[in-house]
Structure 1
Amino acid sequence: MKKLILAMGMMCAMAANAATLTQGQSIPTFELQDQNEQLQQVTAETRTLLFSRDMKGGEIIQESLESMGDKIPADLVYVADISGMPGLIAKFVAIPQLQKLPFAIALDREGQATAALPSQEDKAAVIKLDGLKMVDIQYYESADSLTKALQP
């Protein structure tokens, strides 16, 4: 039974990787609730999409945005896929902690809206958009390098 579950998990991971969007492709518009239950949208006006699929990537983005204070660009949207987090941990631990942050984090609780977005383990993804077309994708391993990349 364990082998079957492991094999199914590997097939799902391979299917997800096969469907990952790449530079030059367009992402669909979508909206998600943030940590304060406000709607956040990724639209044609979004120029920078910060994306994390794991805790380390999220920590890098959060540290970077906290250091930027009120200098966060208005056309930037931060999206986090928290679908892998156990529901009770998300509800009673993670989201209350995120509510203390001074910026919005669009939370993909189901993993469907962000399933095709590119990511790398333990890294923060910066996806530059032009009318929803991905014109550049970069990955960052530290908050300092991310902060430098986000400055005009």
Structure 2
Amino acid sequence: MKKLLLISLFSTMGLFAQFNIGDTLPQITLKDQFDKEFTVSNKDTMIIMAFEKDISVAISDYLKKQPSAFLETHHTKYISDISTMPSFITSMFAMPKMKKYPFSVMLINDDFGGQFDKQEGKITVYKLKNQKITDIEFIAPDTLSTLFEK
């Protein structure tokens, strides 16, 4: 019985291990606000992530001012973790608002977001090359534009 408990504990820890620099991301496929599936691919060089409402609003406000293909042009995926949002709020307010966005937001609705690093009040940025994490940054929302100035 103890052996089974230890195996279960280690398996659970492995499922929610955080991603680090040098790690290869597993295939990440999430639905967006239109219920369309998007996958982080080998062509993507960056993931920008929001884990708080204020951060999500800041990213969305920035992206709404950009051309419609901005994320695709920059080989970037935008992921927002809405798992802590009450389902009533999500369905009545958040989703209708997000459906007005001219870009896709990949949505985390479960514990999957626990695998990503985060800092309060910051945008989490994963830089990628062929699905491998080359850098992890935590940036202030007002510096988001600097990621795309290259």
TM-score range, shorter chain: 0.7 to 0.9
2:58 pairs with 60, 70, 94, which one? 60
Task: Provide the residue aligned with 2:28 in structure 1.
Answer: 30
TM-score, structure 1 normalization: 0.80
TM-score, structure 2 normalization: 0.81
Q: Is the 8 A contact 1:127 1:137 kept in 2?
A: yes
Q: Is the 8 A contact 2:68 2:102 kept in 1?
A: no
Answer yes or no: is 1:149 the counterpart of 2:138.
no
Task: Provide the residue aligned with 2:39 in structure 1.
Answer: 41
Task: Provide the residue aligned with 1:9 in structure 2.
Answer: none
Alpha-carbon distance, 1:121 to partner? 1.4
Q: Is the 8 A contact 1:60 1:124 kept in 2?
A: no
- Once residues 71 and 100 of structure 2 are traced to their aligned partners in structure 1, the CA distance between those partners, rounded to angstroms, is 20
Task: Provide the residue aligned with 1:93 in structure 2.
Answer: 93
SS of the residue 2:145 aligns to: helix
Name segments (4+ residues, structure 1) moved above 3 Å.
none
Alpha-carbon distance, 1:88 to partner? 0.9
- Once residues 31 and 71 of structure 1 are traced to their aligned partners in structure 2, the CA distance between those partners, rounded to angstroms, is 20
**What pairs with 1:1-150 in structure 2 (closer than 5 Å)?**
19-70=17-68, 72-74=70-72, 75-112=75-112, 114-143=113-142, 145-150=143-148
- Once residues 70 and 120 of structure 2 are traced to their aligned partners in structure 1, the CA distance between those partners, rounded to angstroms, is 24
Q: Is the 8 A contact 1:65 1:147 kept in 2?
A: no
Q: Is the 8 A contact 2:30 2:37 kept in 1?
A: yes
Give the total of aligned pairs: 135
Uncovered stretches (5+) of structure 1, i.e. residues with no partner? 1-14
SS of the residue 1:68 aligns to: coil
- Once residues 45 and 35 of structure 1 are traced to their aligned partners in structure 2, the CA distance between those partners, rounded to angstroms, is 22
SS of the residue 2:66 aligns to: helix
Amino acid at match of 1:86: P
- Once residues 101 and 55 of structure 1 are traced to their aligned partners in structure 2, the CA distance between those partners, rounded to angstroms, is 15
Amino acid at match of 1:133: K
Q: Is the 8 A contact 2:18 2:114 kept in 1?
A: yes
Alpha-carbon distance, 1:66 to partner? 1.8
Comparing 60-69 with 46-55, greater Cα deviation is found at 60-69
Q: Percent identity?
A: 24
